[in-house]
Structure formats: structure tokens, C-alpha cells
Amino acid sequence: MQAGPFDAQDRYVGVDDDAFGGMTPTGIMIRDARVFELITEDETCAGWTRARLQVLYDETTKAWEPYGHLVSKLPPPLRERHEHIHGAAVERARSMGWSPELLDES
């Protein structure tokens, strides 16, 4: 795994090679883009530039807007998709030693 989410050419390493399988803001955004089908479920965004990721971030943010960025406001099909995609990511991350407490910087 890379020390950070970008390689020497300043390209994203991909959600699978990001910290704990993408338990980062970029990884979360990529999974949200999958929820809204802005990218396919198998797209890792490996090799993407920061500019290309920014475009995906903007599209994902716009897709969230009708739901106030709240999972609880997603219609059932999207909520189920969200649970499936993010649930699998959490399981994978936990198997790699991740826990939510790792994000606590207090």
C-alpha cells in the first residue's frame, strides 16, 4: 500500500489500495458515486488525476443534494444499494485491521 492516496505521478492509487480499502474521504466519495451509478461498482478510480476525482466529487455531491446528504432520506432502492456497497467496504476494512476509532483524532 502507498504511503498516501496518490502515487509519484500524482495519480490516485485506487480505492482498493487506499488506506484500509478506501476508508478515507476519497474512498467514501467513490463508493457514494457507485451508489448513484455515476461509476460502475468495479471502478476503483486507479490512475485518476485530482481534477478527474474533483469532477466525480462534484457530480456525487449534486446527486446527494435531493436527499440532504442523509442515507435515511434515500429512497429504498438507493438506501439498499448504499448499505450493500458501504457495508461490504466496512467488512473488508475491518478484516484489514481498520476500526472507526482510527479516525478519532482527539
Q: What is the DSSP string of 57-102?
A: HHHHHHHHGGGTT-GGGS-HHHHHHHHHHHHHHHHHHHHTT--GGG
pTM: 0.87
With both helix axes pointing from N to C terminus, report the angle between 76-95 and 25-35 in degrees, rounded to the nearest 10: 140
Instruction: Report the pLDDT value the prediction gives residue 6, as an integer from 0 to 100.
Output: 86
Summarised one tens digit per residue, pLDDT across range 41-83 is 999 999 999 999 999 999 999 999 999 999 999 999 999 999 9
